[in-house]
């Protein structure tokens, strides 16, 4: 397994080694010990979630605050997504900056998203199944969102707006500049 620090501090792209032969492939997709050594902190994933989305579905940008803030390990078991994370840590030098990566069932990459980031993705394939391992249980009282179309963020969702399917809840999220200071 190979790990790559991304342009925003705390984000890690996990690249598993894929061993191919005439039968298909084998890959060790998660090694807690190796990832913990790389990030120099302990992880304790307690919940695993899966979502299924059609082409053009945008989910996000979501996060939870303290005491229910979550570190997430995101992967795609079927299809392809453009995965986007936004730094919402007010004291961070990269506050308001985002990072985008392609996750799919070919590269088998995973993205480690620490607390203090809003997360979202858009499905780029006919169907995409996204998996989330999280280190804190879901709690709707501490769930918030940032408007994925906030002009100040300049996120390129790749698709045209009329191709994007988004629910009313995500559409009605506030812009980052209007959000309070959150504790993580």
CA pair distance 111, 100, nearest whole angstrom: 10
- Which residue in the list 95, 132, 137, 142 is annotated as catalytic? 132
| pLDDT for residue 9 | 96
Residue 69 structure tokens = 């803030």
**Cβ-contact 14, 27 below 8 angstroms:** no
Catalytic site residue 137? no
- Which residue in the list 62, 98, 119, 182 is annotated as catalytic? 62
**Cβ-contact 55, 121 below 8 angstroms:** no
- As averages over each run of 10 residues, the pLDDT of the chain (184 residues) reads 96 95 92 96 96 98 97 98 97 97 97 98 98 97 97 97 96 94 88
| pLDDT for residue 183 | 87
110-121 core/surface letters (b: 16 or more CB in 10 A; e: else):
bbbbbbbbbbbb
| pLDDT for residue 110 | 97
Catalytic site residue 78? no
1, 25, 43, 143, 183 from 139: Cα distances, Å: 32, 37, 19, 7, 15
CA pair distance 107, 104, nearest whole angstrom: 6
CA distance from start to end of the chain:
29
CA pair distance 28, 157, nearest whole angstrom: 30
Query: What's the residue count for the chain?
Result: 184
Give pLDDT tens digits for 145-166. Answer: 999 999 999 999 999 999 999 9
Give pLDDT tens digits for 43-57. Answer: 999 999 999 999 999
| pLDDT for residue 92 | 95
* Chain position carrying tokens 């209007």: 178
């Amino acid at each position: 397994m190979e790990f790559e620090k991304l342009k925003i501090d705390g984000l890690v792209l996990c690249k598993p080694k894929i061993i191919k032969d005439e039968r298909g492939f084998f890959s060790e997709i998660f090694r807690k010990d190796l990832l913990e050594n790389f990030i120099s902190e302990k992880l304790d994933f307690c919940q695993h979630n899966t979502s299924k989305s059609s082409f053009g579905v945008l989910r996000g940008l979501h996060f939870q605050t303290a005491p229910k803030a979550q570190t997430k390990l995101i992967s795609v078991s079927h299809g392809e997504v453009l995965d986007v994370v936004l730094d919402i840590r007010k004291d961070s030098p990269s506050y308001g900056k985002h990072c985008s990566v392609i996750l799919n069932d070919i590269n088998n990459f995973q993205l480690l998203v620490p607390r203090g980031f809003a997360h979202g993705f858009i499905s780029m394939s006919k169907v995409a199944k996204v998996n989330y391992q999280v280190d804190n249980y879901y709690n709707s009282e501490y769930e918030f969102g940032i408007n994925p179309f906030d002009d100040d963020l300049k996120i390129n969702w790749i698709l045209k707006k009329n191709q994007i399917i988004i629910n009313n809840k995500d559409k009605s999220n506030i812009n980052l500049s209007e959000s309070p200071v959150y504790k993580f």
